[in-house]
């Protein structure tokens, strides 16, 4: 049985993960080193290795935590709720995650571009199972005539693509919209709600 971590151990683990997120976001998995992560965390390399056995172990811990956070809004979709309201709430929550976790989103996207070598099992397990479950909910709503008919899994993909774009291509979004520093998310939220409301209306 694994002993629970002390408060100091938990704090150090969190510090390492935050430092690793910074380093991985800047250099990618291949370019990042344990020495860089330890330096940003303010810990010695041996101390870091006490908490995580390898660079890969840190990366997997980050990705696993992110995936869990990323899936929470989909888990929250209520089969008993109003279909359009539930889907629009899902879009809003996903856009908020892109705004609040942009580094994490880019880390996840980079893992996908590399073929997901460190998280493929989770994609083919928990992620796929949840998507299939919620696709069944969407299909039921479509069969009841409560939302327009379309491929339910591709509808979920569309939500991911249209919300995560603002994090994964943040530099491009800012470049195209201009350099005045305006927050793109309020207008994006209005646009996406309009788009999906029209798409979902039977």
Average pLDDT, the chain: 92
Stretch 28-32: mean pLDDT:
88
CB 90 within 8 A of CB 159: yes
- Per-residue confidence (pLDDT) for residue 180, from 0 to 100: 72
Homologous superfamily of 1-53? Homeodomain-like (1.10.10.60)
Stretch 149-163: mean pLDDT:
98
CA distance 26 to 170: 14
Stretch 43-50: mean pLDDT:
94
Give the pLDDT band (50/70/90) at residue 3: low
Domain map (residue ranges) of the chain: 1-53, 62-200
pLDDT tens digits, residue range 85-122? 999 999 999 999 999 999 888 888 888 988 988 889 88
Give the pLDDT band (50/70/90) at residue 2: low
This model's pTM is above 0.85: yes
What CATH number should be reported for the domain whose range is 62-200? 1.10.357.10
Percent of the chain with pLDDT over 90: 70
Q: Is the pLDDT reported for residue 5 higher than 80?
A: no
CA distance 88 to 187: 15
- Per-residue confidence (pLDDT) for residue 122, from 0 to 100: 87
Half-sphere exposure of 55 (CA within 13 A, CB side): 14
**Site of tokens 């629970």:** 4
pLDDT tens digits, residue range 83-94? 999 999 999 999
Residue 49, C-beta contacts closer than 8 angstroms, at least 6 positions apart: 34
Task: Kindly report which listed range (18-32, 45-59, 124-138) carries the lowest average pLDDT score.
Answer: 18-32
Stretch 152-167: mean pLDDT:
97
Give the pLDDT band (50/70/90) at residue 179: low
Stretch 127-149: mean pLDDT:
97
Give the pLDDT band (50/70/90) at residue 7: confident
């Amino acid at each position: 049985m694994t002993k629970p971590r002390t408060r100091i151990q938990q704090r150090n683990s969190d510090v390492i993960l935050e430092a690793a997120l910074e380093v991985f976001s800047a250099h990618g998995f291949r370019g990042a080193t344990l020495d860089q992560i330890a330096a940003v965390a303010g810990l010695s390399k041996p101390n870091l290795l006490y908490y995580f056995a390898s660079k890969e172990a840190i990366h997997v811990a980050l990705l696993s935590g992110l995936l869990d956070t990323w899936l929470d809004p989909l888990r929250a979709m209520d089969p008993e709720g109003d279909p359009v309201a539930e889907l629009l709430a899902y879009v809003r929550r996903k856009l908020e995650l892109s705004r609040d976790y942009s580094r994490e989103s880019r880390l996840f996207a980079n893992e996908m571009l590399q073929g997901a070598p460190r998280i493929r099992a989770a994609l083919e397990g928990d992620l796929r199972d949840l998507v299939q479950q919620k696709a069944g909910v969407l299909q039921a709503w479509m069969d009841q005539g409560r939302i327009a008919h379309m491929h339910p899994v591709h509808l979920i993909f569309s939500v991911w693509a249209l919300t995560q774009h603002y994090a994964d291509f943040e530099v491009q979004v800012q470049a195209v919209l201009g350099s005045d520093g305006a927050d793109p998310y309020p207008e994006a939220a209005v646009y996406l709600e309009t788009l999906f409301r029209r798409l979902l209306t039977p």
